Protein backbone atom coordinates (compact mmCIF):
# COMPACT_ATOMS: atom_id res chain seq x y z
CA UNK A 1 0.00 0.00 0.00
CA UNK A 2 1.30 3.43 -0.93
CA UNK A 3 1.62 5.80 2.00
CA UNK A 4 0.09 9.28 1.65
CA UNK A 5 2.48 12.22 1.13
CA UNK A 6 2.08 13.41 4.73
CA UNK A 7 3.43 10.08 6.05
CA UNK A 8 6.52 10.40 3.85
CA UNK A 9 6.89 14.00 5.04
CA UNK A 10 7.06 12.82 8.65
CA UNK A 11 9.52 10.07 7.72
CA UNK A 12 11.75 12.60 5.97
CA UNK A 13 11.55 14.92 8.96
CA UNK A 14 12.89 12.17 11.18
CA UNK A 15 16.02 12.04 9.01
CA UNK A 16 16.75 15.78 9.13
CA UNK A 17 19.36 15.42 11.94
CA UNK A 18 21.45 13.41 9.46
CA UNK A 19 21.45 16.24 6.89
CA UNK A 20 25.08 17.38 7.46
CA UNK A 21 26.42 13.83 7.13
CA UNK A 22 24.22 13.12 4.11
CA UNK A 23 25.40 16.35 2.45
CA UNK A 24 29.06 15.37 3.00
CA UNK A 25 28.40 11.90 1.60
CA UNK A 26 26.63 13.42 -1.40
CA UNK A 27 29.64 15.58 -2.26
CA UNK A 28 31.92 12.56 -1.93
CA UNK A 29 29.71 10.43 -4.17
CA UNK A 30 29.75 13.17 -6.83
CA UNK A 31 33.56 13.26 -6.74
CA UNK A 32 34.10 9.50 -6.91
CA UNK A 33 31.30 8.34 -9.24
CA UNK A 34 32.22 8.10 -12.92
CA UNK A 35 30.32 10.59 -15.06
CA UNK A 36 28.96 8.68 -18.02
CA UNK A 37 27.96 10.26 -21.35
CA UNK A 38 24.49 10.52 -22.82
CA UNK A 39 23.38 7.95 -25.36
CA UNK A 40 24.67 8.44 -28.89
CA UNK A 41 22.82 8.36 -32.19
CA UNK A 42 19.60 9.98 -33.29
CA UNK A 43 17.18 10.98 -30.53
CA UNK A 44 14.19 10.19 -32.72
CA UNK A 45 13.09 7.45 -35.07
CA UNK A 46 10.36 4.94 -35.84
CA UNK A 47 9.83 1.24 -35.29
CA UNK A 48 7.20 -1.24 -36.41
CA UNK A 49 5.24 -1.40 -39.64
CA UNK A 50 1.61 -1.52 -38.59
CA UNK A 51 -1.24 0.12 -40.47
CA UNK A 52 -1.62 2.73 -37.72
CA UNK A 53 0.88 5.18 -36.23
CA UNK A 54 1.44 6.08 -32.60
CA UNK A 55 3.45 9.24 -31.92
CA UNK A 56 5.25 9.28 -28.58
CA UNK A 57 7.82 11.45 -26.85
CA UNK A 58 9.74 10.60 -23.71
CA UNK A 59 10.68 13.70 -21.76
CA UNK A 60 12.90 13.94 -18.72
CA UNK A 61 16.26 13.85 -17.03
CA UNK A 62 19.42 11.72 -17.48
CA UNK A 63 17.53 8.47 -17.97
CA UNK A 64 15.88 10.03 -21.03
CA UNK A 65 19.16 11.47 -22.30
CA UNK A 66 20.26 7.84 -22.19
CA UNK A 67 23.00 7.68 -19.57
CA UNK A 68 23.93 4.00 -19.23
CA UNK A 69 22.88 3.05 -22.77
CA UNK A 70 24.92 3.09 -25.96
CA UNK A 71 22.15 4.57 -28.13
CA UNK A 72 18.65 5.94 -27.66
CA UNK A 73 17.30 2.79 -29.29
CA UNK A 74 18.64 0.75 -26.37
CA UNK A 75 17.68 3.38 -23.76
CA UNK A 76 14.26 3.88 -22.20
CA UNK A 77 12.76 5.68 -25.22
CA UNK A 78 13.73 3.14 -27.85
CA UNK A 79 12.78 0.23 -25.62
CA UNK A 80 9.33 1.72 -24.95
CA UNK A 81 8.79 2.29 -28.67
CA UNK A 82 9.75 -1.26 -29.62
CA UNK A 83 7.46 -2.83 -27.02
CA UNK A 84 4.52 -0.55 -27.86
CA UNK A 85 4.90 -1.36 -31.57
CA UNK A 86 4.85 -5.06 -30.77
CA UNK A 87 1.92 -4.91 -28.34
CA UNK A 88 -0.24 -2.61 -30.45
CA UNK A 89 0.76 -3.89 -33.86
CA UNK A 90 1.44 -0.28 -34.84
CA UNK A 91 4.17 1.88 -36.27
CA UNK A 92 5.59 3.97 -33.43
CA UNK A 93 7.28 7.29 -34.09
CA UNK A 94 9.40 8.16 -31.07
CA UNK A 95 11.44 11.05 -29.77
CA UNK A 96 13.72 11.34 -26.72
CA UNK A 97 13.89 14.76 -25.12
CA UNK A 98 16.21 14.49 -22.14
CA UNK A 99 18.58 16.73 -20.23
CA UNK A 100 21.11 15.39 -17.78
CA UNK A 101 20.72 17.01 -14.36
CA UNK A 102 17.40 18.70 -15.15
CA UNK A 103 14.67 19.36 -12.60
CA UNK A 104 10.96 19.40 -13.45
CA UNK A 105 11.09 23.18 -13.89
CA UNK A 106 13.95 22.96 -16.39
CA UNK A 107 12.22 20.11 -18.23
CA UNK A 108 9.16 22.35 -18.61
CA UNK A 109 11.32 25.00 -20.29
CA UNK A 110 12.95 22.37 -22.50
CA UNK A 111 9.58 20.97 -23.57
CA UNK A 112 8.27 24.46 -24.27
CA UNK A 113 11.27 25.21 -26.49
CA UNK A 114 11.54 21.89 -28.31
CA UNK A 115 8.11 20.31 -28.68
CA UNK A 116 6.21 23.14 -30.32
CA UNK A 117 3.10 21.80 -32.01
CA UNK A 118 4.35 18.20 -31.91
CA UNK A 119 0.84 16.69 -31.87
CA UNK A 120 1.84 13.73 -29.73
CA UNK A 121 -0.40 10.80 -28.90
CA UNK A 122 1.32 9.80 -25.66
CA UNK A 123 3.90 11.75 -23.65
CA UNK A 124 6.01 9.74 -21.20
CA UNK A 125 7.70 11.76 -18.46
CA UNK A 126 10.64 10.63 -16.31
CA UNK A 127 11.59 13.29 -13.76
CA UNK A 128 12.20 13.71 -10.06
CA UNK A 129 15.68 12.43 -9.18
CA UNK A 130 17.26 15.86 -9.55
CA UNK A 131 14.41 17.47 -7.62
CA UNK A 132 15.20 14.98 -4.84
CA UNK A 133 18.89 15.88 -4.91
CA UNK A 134 18.19 19.62 -5.02
CA UNK A 135 15.61 19.37 -2.20
CA UNK A 136 12.85 20.97 -4.25
CA UNK A 137 10.00 21.86 -1.85
CA UNK A 138 6.95 19.63 -2.26
CA UNK A 139 4.66 22.57 -3.03
CA UNK A 140 6.96 23.74 -5.83
CA UNK A 141 7.34 20.20 -7.16
CA UNK A 142 3.55 19.84 -7.34
CA UNK A 143 3.09 23.14 -9.17
CA UNK A 144 5.99 22.45 -11.55
CA UNK A 145 4.57 19.05 -12.49
CA UNK A 146 1.04 20.47 -12.89
CA UNK A 147 2.34 23.14 -15.29
CA UNK A 148 4.23 20.49 -17.26
CA UNK A 149 0.99 18.48 -17.60
CA UNK A 150 -0.82 21.53 -18.93
CA UNK A 151 1.97 22.27 -21.38
CA UNK A 152 2.07 18.72 -22.75
CA UNK A 153 -1.69 18.60 -23.17
CA UNK A 154 -2.10 22.04 -24.74
CA UNK A 155 1.14 22.77 -26.60
CA UNK A 156 2.10 19.22 -27.68
CA UNK A 157 -1.48 17.98 -27.96
CA UNK A 158 -0.85 14.81 -25.95
CA UNK A 159 -4.22 13.24 -25.00
CA UNK A 160 -2.41 10.85 -22.64
CA UNK A 161 0.46 11.65 -20.27
CA UNK A 162 2.31 8.85 -18.47
CA UNK A 163 4.54 9.67 -15.51
CA UNK A 164 7.18 7.06 -14.80
CA UNK A 165 7.39 6.85 -11.03
CA UNK A 166 10.51 8.01 -9.24
CA UNK A 167 13.02 5.18 -8.88
CA UNK A 168 13.60 3.55 -5.47
CA UNK A 169 16.62 5.65 -4.57
CA UNK A 170 16.90 3.89 -1.23
CA UNK A 171 18.17 0.91 -3.26
CA UNK A 172 20.79 2.72 -5.36
CA UNK A 173 24.05 0.78 -4.79
CA UNK A 174 26.31 3.82 -5.14
CA UNK A 175 24.70 5.66 -2.21
CA UNK A 176 25.97 4.95 1.32
CA UNK A 177 23.86 5.18 4.45
CA UNK A 178 22.43 7.44 5.77
CA UNK A 179 22.46 9.28 2.40
CA UNK A 180 20.60 6.38 0.80
CA UNK A 181 17.78 6.55 3.36
CA UNK A 182 17.73 10.36 3.17
CA UNK A 183 17.25 10.61 -0.60
CA UNK A 184 15.18 7.43 -0.73
CA UNK A 185 12.61 8.83 1.66
CA UNK A 186 12.57 12.11 -0.21
CA UNK A 187 12.00 10.23 -3.48
CA UNK A 188 9.04 8.38 -1.94
CA UNK A 189 7.55 11.71 -0.86
CA UNK A 190 7.83 13.27 -4.32
CA UNK A 191 6.55 10.11 -5.98
CA UNK A 192 3.51 9.95 -3.68
CA UNK A 193 2.80 13.58 -4.55
CA UNK A 194 3.13 12.74 -8.25
CA UNK A 195 0.73 9.80 -7.90
CA UNK A 196 -1.81 11.98 -6.08
CA UNK A 197 -1.64 14.61 -8.82
CA UNK A 198 -2.15 11.95 -11.50
CA UNK A 199 -5.26 10.65 -9.74
CA UNK A 200 -6.77 14.14 -9.97
CA UNK A 201 -6.26 14.43 -13.73
CA UNK A 202 -8.22 12.36 -16.23
CA UNK A 203 -5.49 12.28 -18.86
CA UNK A 204 -2.57 11.45 -16.57
CA UNK A 205 -1.34 8.00 -15.54
CA UNK A 206 1.29 7.31 -12.89
CA UNK A 207 3.21 4.04 -13.29
CA UNK A 208 5.25 3.18 -10.17
CA UNK A 209 8.80 2.10 -10.88
CA UNK A 210 9.56 -1.46 -9.66
CA UNK A 211 11.34 -1.72 -6.34
CA UNK A 212 13.57 -4.50 -7.59
CA UNK A 213 14.95 -5.46 -10.97
CA UNK A 214 17.38 -7.97 -12.44
CA UNK A 215 20.90 -8.25 -10.97
CA UNK A 216 22.32 -6.29 -13.92
CA UNK A 217 19.77 -3.47 -13.63
CA UNK A 218 22.42 -0.79 -12.95
CA UNK A 219 25.20 0.34 -15.27
CA UNK A 220 28.80 0.85 -14.20
CA UNK A 221 28.12 4.04 -12.21
CA UNK A 222 25.66 2.05 -10.02
CA UNK A 223 23.22 4.97 -10.25
CA UNK A 224 21.68 4.80 -13.74
CA UNK A 225 20.06 1.79 -15.40
CA UNK A 226 22.00 -0.39 -17.79
CA UNK A 227 20.54 -1.39 -21.14
CA UNK A 228 19.11 -4.47 -19.39
CA UNK A 229 17.70 -2.14 -16.73
CA UNK A 230 16.05 0.06 -19.34
CA UNK A 231 14.54 -3.00 -21.02
CA UNK A 232 13.11 -4.19 -17.69
CA UNK A 233 11.76 -0.73 -16.86
CA UNK A 234 10.20 -0.33 -20.31
CA UNK A 235 8.52 -3.75 -20.16
CA UNK A 236 7.04 -2.95 -16.74
CA UNK A 237 5.75 0.41 -18.02
CA UNK A 238 4.18 -0.97 -21.20
CA UNK A 239 2.51 -3.78 -19.25
CA UNK A 240 0.79 -1.09 -17.15
CA UNK A 241 0.08 1.41 -19.91
CA UNK A 242 -1.58 -0.77 -22.56
CA UNK A 243 -4.31 -2.22 -20.27
CA UNK A 244 -4.90 1.21 -18.70
CA UNK A 245 -5.44 2.77 -22.09
CA UNK A 246 -7.82 -0.02 -23.03
CA UNK A 247 -9.76 0.30 -19.77
CA UNK A 248 -10.16 4.04 -20.23
CA UNK A 249 -11.27 3.66 -23.82
CA UNK A 250 -8.20 5.49 -25.11
CA UNK A 251 -6.41 2.54 -26.64
CA UNK A 252 -7.88 3.33 -30.03
CA UNK A 253 -7.73 7.11 -29.66
CA UNK A 254 -3.96 7.60 -29.75
CA UNK A 255 -3.32 5.22 -32.65
CA UNK A 256 -3.95 7.15 -35.84
CA UNK A 257 -4.17 5.90 -39.38
CA UNK A 258 -0.78 6.25 -40.97
CA UNK A 259 -0.57 8.98 -43.58
CA UNK A 260 1.75 8.69 -46.54
CA UNK A 261 4.29 11.46 -46.54
CA UNK A 262 5.11 13.30 -49.75
CA UNK A 263 8.46 12.35 -51.22
> Is it the case that residue 194 has pLDDT exceeding 60?
yes
Q: Mean pLDDT check: name the lowest of 36-45, 233-242, 251-260.
A: 251-260
The whole-number pLDDT of residue 262 equals 34
Is 29 a member of any domain?
A: no
Dist CA 93 CA 85 (whole Å): 9
pLDDT tens per residue across span 83-126: 999 999 999 999 999 999 999 999 999 999 998 778 899 999 99
Dist CA 94 CA 80 (whole Å): 9
Is 153 a member of any domain?
A: yes
Once rounded to an integer, what is the mean pLDDT over residues 217-221?
A: 96
The domain total for the chain is 1
Q: Is 55 helix (H, G, I), strand (E, B) or coil?
A: strand
pLDDT tens per residue across span 69-92: 999 999 999 999 999 999 999 999
- The count of residues in the chain is 263
The whole-number pLDDT of residue 50 equals 86
Is 109 a member of any domain?
A: yes
Distances in Å between the Cα of 223 and the Cα atoms of 21, 29, 249 are: 20, 10, 37
| C-beta atoms surrounding 235 within 10 Å | 14
Dist CA 236 CA 233 (whole Å): 5
> Is it the case that residue 202 has pLDDT exceeding 50?
yes
Once rounded to an integer, what is the mean pLDDT over residues 43-50?
A: 95
The whole-number pLDDT of residue 228 equals 97
What range defines the domain where residue 53 resides?
A: 42-168+191-246
Dist CA 241 CA 251 (whole Å): 9
Dist CA 16 CA 151 (whole Å): 35
Predicted confidence band at 263 (pLDDT cuts at 50, 70, 90)?
very low
Is 12 a member of any domain?
A: no
> Is it the case that residue 18 has pLDDT exceeding 60?
no
Predicted confidence band at 253 (pLDDT cuts at 50, 70, 90)?
very low
Q: Average pLDDT over the chain, rounded to whole?
A: 87
Predicted confidence band at 5 (pLDDT cuts at 50, 70, 90)?
low
Is 77 a member of any domain?
A: yes
Is 69 a member of any domain?
A: yes
> Is it the case that residue 254 has pLDDT exceeding 90?
no
The whole-number pLDDT of residue 212 equals 86
Is 132 a member of any domain?
A: yes
H helix or E strand, kind and range, residue 60: strand 52-60
Global pTM value: 0.88
> Is it the case that residue 12 has pLDDT exceeding 50?
yes
Percent of the chain with pLDDT over 90: 69
Q: What is the CATH number of the domain that holds 155?
A: 3.40.50.1110
pLDDT tens per residue across span 132-148: 998 899 999 999 999 99
Dist CA 1 CA 3 (whole Å): 6
Helix ranges (H only) for 40-103 are: 62-65, 76-88
Helix ranges (H only) for 118-202 are: 129-133, 138-154, 179-199
Once rounded to an integer, what is the mean pLDDT over residues 159-175?
A: 95
The whole-number pLDDT of residue 217 equals 96
Amino acid sequence: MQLPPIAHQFAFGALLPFTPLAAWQGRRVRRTTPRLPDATGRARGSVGNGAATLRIAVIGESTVSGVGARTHRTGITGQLAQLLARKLGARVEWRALGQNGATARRIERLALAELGDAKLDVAFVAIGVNDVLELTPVSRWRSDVARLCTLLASRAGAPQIVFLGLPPMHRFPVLPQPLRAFVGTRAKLLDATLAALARDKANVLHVPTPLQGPPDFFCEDRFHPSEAGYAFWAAHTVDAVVPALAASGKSSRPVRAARRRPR
